[in-house]
Structure 1
Amino acid sequence: MHLPEIDAARAQQIMPSTGRWLSANGAEPPASFVHADDRMSAKRACELVSRGTGLLWRGDFHQARQLLAALSRRLRRSSQRPSSPAEAFIHHRQEQSRRARALSLVLVRIEPGHVLALRRAPDVGAACQDVYGTVDEPYVVPLRELLGVISAREWRQKGVPVPALGARIHPHYGVFAPTRNEYVDLVADAPLPPVGTAFDIGTGTGVLAGVLARRGVPRVVGTDSSARAIRCAEDNARRLGFSERFEAVRTDLFPPGRAQLVVCNPPWIPAEPHSTLDHAVYDPGSRMLLGFLGGLADHLRPAGEGWLILSDLAERLGLRTRADLLNAVRGAGLRVLARSDTSARHPKAAASGDPFHTARAGEIISLWRLARPEN
């Protein structure tokens, strides 16, 4: 059985007479569960999931989706009045985590061959094969995760248009999709130094590696700690026709050796991730950011540059200051050659219903060109 990115101990947990527990997103199995169908009210379901009881659904598939939507509404609590943007953000994240855990307790059983045997259920075979691999026994997954798996399959087939590439990137499940073009455009437009080899740290889908290859960089090495991301980047390199110039390395941050250009677009928010998928957005303690800065000088060739792509949203939310960032740059023995800025253009920046509308509306994404002091 091939279980990408699933903890082995968790995967071995069995729900008696029901099936093996699987979660590609790191959801924990419930300590107990009850069978549920179309007769269960949203109120009763909310009571059960709120105290940690799983609901193994046996009814209509579309009714299950409606129940999940009703639970999502019921699980919202009245908002507090925090004293600062940082406090508001922390409270918001805590509420997101609480709701996500409760919503992950609506469960479905998948039969061998990835068959979802519910009334009006779609064919989930190809989508589940992509994520869970070959499974020769019944298994149980959160319905919310399954819906994400189905959606990811559609994204993977359709692809995401990237104007800077003049092509589409095809994200795999659990790999951050480049739906925002601001940071990609910064890499496409920045003045390119003489480059023989470039490193793309945290390559993800390989979108920035693709931009560098399109700009004529002869060799690009993309790194990522996620096996899913490595497979995804290799897939996109083949699709875009630069696989012969691209090497994907599964490692934490830097590959061996030095390069004339080292690019990194770390998660922008210094906060704890609550799921596997969160790691693309949240960087606890700014670990990746500080790790990149701390190791950059040792991986740059003479006269080489490091490109750090970072939003100032964390600063606007009070989670990090500009002084913190500049002190980290200086502390790593680096200097700033130049900085390119662009305004956020994603939909949330203009959405007045977003609780962080004010911060997002002024968000700036920057490409910091960094070098050793002697350059």
Structure 2
Amino acid sequence: MLDIRWTEDGEARSARWRSENGSPPPARVVIADERLAAATAYRLACEGTALLWRGDFHAARRLLRAMTRRAAPRPPAPAPAESPAPAESPAQAFHRYRQARSQAVVTLGRLLVPLDPDHGVPLRRAPDVRNACAQVYGPATEASVISLRELLGVVAAYEWRRRGVEVPALNARIHPHYGVFSPVRGEYVDLVAAAPLVSRAGAFDVGTGTGVLAAVLARRGVERVVATDRDPRAVACARDNLRRLGLSGRVGVLEADLFPPGRAPLVVCNPPWLPAKPVSPLDHAVYDPGSRMLRGFLDGLGEHLTQQGEGWLILSDLAERLGLRTRAELLSAFASAGLRVVDRLRTRPRHPRAADRTDPLHAARATEVTSLWRLRRT
């Protein structure tokens, strides 16, 4: 348990440091309020100095928005006409974008706010965030300091969890917990809702997250579903959602890395789609370093399928369009795992970013295809 230390009004002070992404407490901390200009705040943060806010809460939010605009990834400057540079490849654009985003996460995380021992924010016009913080951090026991960016994420997650996300395939709402990816991209859920079932006797849902795919399978008549996730928060989230949906008796949720014990006639997995390093808690649902989960699922699938069983791999081709993985590499991974493709269902993305021309990755997102690969043992 780490502390953050600073000097204020000539006195040495300290408090518990909170950081969900594991960032260490900043070594340099200055006190800040409305008198600090956004340009100065951003420069200090870029230099490694943290700003502990003592002014109005909404002014701190405005400052964070101003800093965020300065930290936004920018396209590369055009090369001089007399010495044209080679065009940037999709992979180079992606890595430049990720590097800029990673640095932005660090820089913007240096605007800090205090929390009282009851998780209250002792700033003018601050909202009541005590329930939101208690859901993520547990019972309050001592004063602490947190990144404003993280605190706003905690509050937003609290509202997502309270209201839920409508899932048409279930005709119900799914309630994501903090740090668990929300099923806002409904196309992958629709693929699982439409794919032909080889059996209704049982299924495994590997990497269940909110439990949405396990719920879809149960609603489709699969008699017994076992869902797994390595993240304790996801396990709690899935159990909560399945209880809300009245499916706890037909779907069991286990904390496990990949597969539960035994075999099933259907094994479903929607792994993170991009082989890159996560830089925030939610990134773990999108980025899979070294394709660890994808390869682990494929390599272990044959051992967990019944004789005529089928594995469903739900995967976007965004990594291929960004030059991070080739289709040949994916097909080779199938073959190396002793698997063959019996069918492939496809759909196009419907999320807003696919049409956002300001997105640095727009060219790849606009042509992205999400597939459900039906796999069997060779």
Give TM-score, length-normalised by structure 2. 0.94
Equivalent pair of 1:24/1:131 in contact (CA under 8 Å): no
Distance 2:114 2:229 in 1: 32
Equivalent pair of 2:112/2:145 in contact (CA under 8 Å): yes
- 2:104 counterpart of 1:99: yes
1:80, CA displacement in angstroms? 1.8
What's the C-alpha RMSD, in Å, of the aligned pairs?
A: 1.2
1:114 corresponds to = 119
Identity %, equivalent residues: 61
2:62 corresponds to = 66
- 2:328 counterpart of 1:323: yes
Match of 2:191 among 179, 186, 191: 186
Paired residue secondary structure (2:249)? helix
1:93, CA displacement in angstroms? 0.3
- 2:371 counterpart of 1:366: yes
Deviates more, 1:40-49 or 1:200-209: 40-49
Match of 2:180 among 172, 175, 181: 175
Paired residue secondary structure (1:45)? helix
Distance 1:332 1:104 in 2: 42
- 2:15 counterpart of 1:19: yes
Distance 2:68 2:4 in 1: 27
Unaligned runs of 5+ in 1: 1-10
Matching residue's letter, 2:310: E
1:73, CA displacement in angstroms? 1.6
Match of 2:43 among 41, 47, 51: 47
1:6 corresponds to = none
Equivalent pair of 2:4/2:145 in contact (CA under 8 Å): no
Relative distance call for 1:240 and 1:77 in structure 2 (3 A) is closer
Structure 1 stretches of 4+ with a deviation exceeding 4 A read none
1:7 corresponds to = none
Distance 2:281 2:358 in 1: 27
Equivalent pair of 1:27/1:104 in contact (CA under 8 Å): no
Paired residue secondary structure (1:116)? coil
Deviates more, 1:45-54 or 1:88-97: 45-54
1:264 corresponds to = 269
Equivalent pair of 2:345/2:372 in contact (CA under 8 Å): yes
What is the number of equivalent residue pairs in this alignment? 363
2:288 corresponds to = 283
Equivalent pair of 2:21/2:279 in contact (CA under 8 Å): no
Equivalent pair of 2:72/2:101 in contact (CA under 8 Å): no
1:245, CA displacement in angstroms? 1.1
1:80 corresponds to = 76
Paired residue secondary structure (1:263)? strand
Paired residue secondary structure (2:308)? strand
Give CA deviations for 1:305-362 in whole Å, capped at 9, x if unaligned. 1000000111111111100100000000011111100111111111111122221111
1:122, CA displacement in angstroms? 0.2
1:251 corresponds to = 256
